[in-house]
Amino acid sequence: IRVKGIVKTLGAFSAGETMRVTVQAGTGAAVTAPVNIAQKVITMETGDTAHTFEMFGWSQAGFQSYQIILTCSDGAAVSVADLMVDCA
């Protein structure tokens, strides 16, 4: 799987806070028995207005479903992201 993204709205992030993007894959139609297949940690810097990223991941067992999870070190921070996903 390849995920390209841009986090367009950084919400209430401050310098030094982090955001983690995780791709989990599952072997069923729903994300069953999920495993993390790609992760990216972004640290906010002074002056940041957006972040772009690209991630690659794969599962040796294959997968039928996936989910993308965005978590923030500041639980109050809200972000808007556009994502593009390619599965081969």
Summarised one tens digit per residue, pLDDT across range 45-66 is 999 888 999 999 998 888 999 9
**What's the pLDDT score for residue 21?**
94
DSSP letter at 60? T
**What's the pLDDT score for residue 83?**
95
Summarised one tens digit per residue, pLDDT across range 17-26 is 999 999 999 9
What Rg value do the Cα atoms of the chain yield, rounded?
14
For residues 59 and 32, is the Cβ–Cβ distance under 8 A? no
Q: Write the CA distances from 65 to 6, 18, 31, 53, integer angstroms.
A: 22, 27, 6, 21
